[in-house]
Structure 1
Amino acid sequence: MKRFCLTLDLKDDPGLIARYEQYHQADGVWPEIIEGIRSCGIAAMDIYRAGNRLMMILEAADDFDLQSGFARMATLPRQREWAALMDTFQQKLPFARPHEHWVEMKQIFKLYK
């Protein structure tokens, strides 16, 4: 199993942030989105927020490729609609490349037993 950590900002608007969080409650995420995430090989996904900064942690099999997994997800039913909706709340990081939405973070430290 390998882990990916990605980051993105929300628009700095308390009302938008509250709505974004509502969409990410257990009953707020569309079932097709959950099915699509799993069908692309992602075993677990967590999103954390501090202020308007988001951090997403993904876990997937060792042979999972992040770019091709996200590309496959983009072709699934309702994903384009969900992405457009989420885009109303999100803003790219200033250092994101033109094709990047969520930016993969570089691991710089790890501590294990």
Structure 2
Amino acid sequence: MKQYTFALDLVNDPQLIMEYENFHRAIWPEIESSILEAGVTKMQIFRFEDRLFMIMEVDDSFSFEKKAHMDEHNPKVQEWEQLMWKYQSAIPGAKENEKWVLMNKIFELKK
């Protein structure tokens, strides 16, 4: 199992943040299916103020290229992503049109 972590900011507006959280409490079934079909086995999103942190666990079938290809050819995913831009704000240092930014692990404590 591989694990990836990402960061993203939200538009700093309490009403929009509440709407964003509501969408994620009941994501569209097509979005959930798309995530699972790409090889994602577990996904968690955490929020502090307007900063999001996502942990994504994947199986051996997952690749970023495969996920991008699937998303590009899925009209429902494109609709969802377009809608989410209303709430999302690219994190400082992100590339143009980049949403979730892959983070680098700098520390791990193991017993």
TM-score, normalised relative to structure 2 = 0.91
Q: CA deviation at 1:91?
A: 0.6
Question: Residues of 2 paired with 1:73 and 1:79: CA distance?
Answer: 6
Q: CA deviation at 1:69?
A: 1.9
Q: How many residues align?
A: 111
Cα–Cα, structure 1 residues 67 and 104, in superposed 2: closer, same or farther, change >3 Å?
farther
Q: CA deviation at 1:70?
A: 3.2
8 Å Cα contact 1:32/1:77 also seen in 2: no
1:112 aligns with 2:110: yes
Query: Once superposed, which parts of structure 1, at least 4 consecutive aligned residues long, lie more than 6 Å away?
Result: none
Runs of at least 5 residues in structure 2 that lack an aligned partner in the other structure: none
Match of 2:23? 23
Matching residue's letter, 2:79 = E
Question: Residues of 2 paired with 1:75 and 1:46: CA distance?
Answer: 24
Match of 2:41? 43
TM-score, normalised relative to structure 1 = 0.90
Cα–Cα, structure 1 residues 105 and 31, in superposed 2: closer, same or farther, change >3 Å?
same
1:95 aligns with 2:93: yes
Runs of at least 5 residues in structure 1 that lack an aligned partner in the other structure: none
8 Å Cα contact 1:17/1:89 also seen in 2: yes
1:69 aligns with 2:71: no
